[in-house]
Amino acid sequence: MRQRTSDLPTGRDPGNRFLPWIIGVMVYLAGLSLTGAMVLSSAVADWSANLAGTVTVQILPAAADGKRAGAALDAKVAKALALLRATPGVTRAEPLSPERVAALLSPWLGPDVLAGGVESELPLPRLIDVTIASRDAVDIVDLTRRLREIAPEVEVDDHGRWLDELVSLVHSLEALSAVVVALSGLAAITTVIFATRAGMAVHGDVIAVLHLVGARDSYIARQFQRRALSLGLMGGAAGLGLAVITVVAIGYFLGRVQLFGLPNVALSVLQWAVLAALAPVAALIAMVTARLTVMRALARMP
């Protein structure tokens, strides 16, 4: 097999020693930032699919009901259901069973506590899951007023309102992630430029001789771009490997903690492919940057 020869010993350039490390760090930071943005985006998409067009009506136990709290709550739930089902724009209204309510509270109170009869000491609210045709189909403020005529303790949770705020927050975090990735790329480009210029300064005499014997600028540029590509792949692969290990470790520990509301750190095949593309992209950026730097410098030479 024919091996490529090089007229420039770029492998021993001092500036190339730190180039893989810097590219590796930049790929690592970009990988974590990109992963965070993809995880949040997927979580918001799931929440939007599950909560879009839904409202939760919560009826709290009243202190005045005393020992008849359970029966009083049942009567209020029945009246609230009748009102909701008669409201235009409401397509579905179903009460949640006490077991379902207990399951929703278990991440905070613990399943063992609920199984031990906490309902007797801590009366649980009654929840009604409501589905509406669209956000504009029902006046939530007016619906809340009419429900409170039945039970002053009623609380109406409009998921669409806080979901919009959450989406805005995630979009801001995605923009921040894009800034981090852009800054990482800019830092890598700057490092490659300085390393390439330093290499050209070290091999200035050899480059001048190659010019005299008729070597084309593209030939000289290939000496530097091949080395930059090799170092970029080396550093990018190392940084990507550390990023993948970090993501897997975070997903593992979050899975063991099992806190309610935390997004699932699990990437799809497409998202893993996007993350894996960081290493070759970083290497290509290093190669193109080195070539352009050399070509511009040679164009100014006599």
Helix (H, G, I), strand (E, B) or coil at 128: strand
- Ordered by start, the domain boundaries in the chain are 10-49+164-299, 61-152
**CA separation for the pair 175, 235 (Å, rounded):** 26
Residue pair 26/282 in contact (Cβ under 8 Å)? The answer is yes
Q: Is the dihedral of CA 255, 259, 260, 263 positive or negative?
A: negative
Determine the pLDDT at residue 74. Answer: 78
Overall residue count recorded for the chain in this entry: 302
**Neighbouring residues of 43: CB distance < 8 A, sequence distance ≥ 6:** 170, 263, 264
**Residue 193's closest CA among 298, 299, 287, 301?**
287
Determine the pLDDT at residue 282. Answer: 93
Give me the torsion for CA of 3, 9, 15, 17, rounded to 10°: 50
Taking the mean position of all CA atoms in its chain, how far away is CA 99?
33
**CA separation for the pair 15, 55 (Å, rounded):** 61
Determine the pLDDT at residue 1. Answer: 37
pTM summary value: 0.71
Per-residue pLDDT of the chain (302 residues; tens, 9 = 90+): 344 555 566 656 666 778 889 999 999 999 999 998 888 888 777 776 666 677 888 887 766 555 556 677 778 888 888 888 888 888 888 888 777 776 766 666 655 545 545 444 566 778 888 888 776 777 888 888 888 888 888 888 777 667 777 778 888 888 888 898 899 889 989 989 988 888 888 777 777 777 777 778 788 888 888 888 999 999 999 999 999 999 888 888 776 665 555 566 778 889 899 999 999 999 999 999 999 998 888 887 76
Question: Which pairs with CB-CB distance under 8 Å and at least 24 residues apart come from 63-70?
Answer: 69/123
**CA separation for the pair 63, 69 (Å, rounded):** 8
Q: Is the dihedral of CA 233, 238, 195, 193 positive or negative?
A: positive
As given in the structure block, the two tokens for residue 132 are: 């509406």
Question: How many beta carbons lie within 10 A of that of residue 203, not counting itself?
Answer: 20
Beta bridge partners of 244: none
Helix (H, G, I), strand (E, B) or coil at 135: coil
- Edge-to-edge strand list for the sheet holding 126-132: 90-95, 126-132, 54-59, 154-158
End-to-end CA distance of the chain: 38
**Residue 225's closest CA among 277, 296, 283?**
283
As given in the structure block, the two tokens for residue 128 are: 């009604």
Determine the pLDDT at residue 158. Answer: 75
Taking the mean position of all CA atoms in its chain, how far away is CA 187?
22
**CA separation for the pair 75, 223 (Å, rounded):** 84
